[in-house]
Amino acid sequence: MRHGLGRLMRFARSAALDLGTIGPQDPVGRKFAYFGDGAAILWPQGSIYNEHYLSVGDGTLIGPNVCLTAGMAPGQQMVTNPVVAIGKRCIIGRGSHIIGHWSIELGDDIQTGPYVYITDQNHTYADPDEPIGRQWPVEAPVRIGQGSWLGANVVILPGTTLGDHTVVAAGAVVRGSFPSHCVIAGVPAKIVRQLHPSGEWGPPLT
């Protein structure tokens, strides 16, 4: 009996994965600013709201439990559109969060590990007497160049710009601008390897 119930549960889960996946022709998919051909957001989804400010490129696969939002709450009016733009043929790892308020742009062919967090807004702490959670947040655009790889548990903070084909090591906390063809790691993230003009990889260029 246990084996029969197990098969039934696995069948039900497989059916739910298929039925719950969001594609470009689904009602939720049609709410997006753009939802490309062959793109999918796998079930179960995390929080998704203000879809008309979100763009998902052709062939992009967004894993289960990914949160993809514009603004702080459903129905919020935003001043840019799209707020979050994900390029073509990207893979966003399960449990990741892409939380946009101003501008987050991911180029084509980007892949992430699980539980990556990308945001363009953060709290300030300028007033020493006011609780940080009550101080007005600030935004700065985020750009991630095409062909890049973000390892598991990477955090991308506001104002970050990554060049093309950048590798971000697992667990890195990234803020600032980094060139194409480099490997960055650490907290805060720094360049640890870089492609030299000779075509070989080596220590960071000074």
CB 154 within 8 A of CB 167: no
Residue ranges covered by each domain of the chain: 21-202
- Beta-carbon contacts of residue 163 (< 8 Å; ≥ 6 apart): 145, 178, 179, 180, 181, 182
Instruction: Tell if the pTM clears 0.85, that is, is over it.
Output: yes
Active site residue 123: yes
Order of strands across the sheet that contains 167-168: 40-41, 61-62, 91-92, 111-112, 149-150, 167-168, 182-185, 190-195, 201-202
Tens-place pLDDT, residues 132-157: 989 999 999 999 999 999 999 999 99
CATH number of 21-202: 2.160.10.10
Active-site option among 3, 123, 165, 181 = 123
Q: For residues 58 and 86, give the distance between their C-alpha atoms in angstroms, rounded to a whole number.
A: 9
> Residue 15: its pLDDT value, please?
62
Nearest-angstrom CA–CA distance, 165 and 144: 9
Q: What percent of the chain has pLDDT over 70?
A: 92
pLDDT tens across 21-61, in order? Answer: 999 999 999 999 999 999 999 999 999 999 999 999 999 99
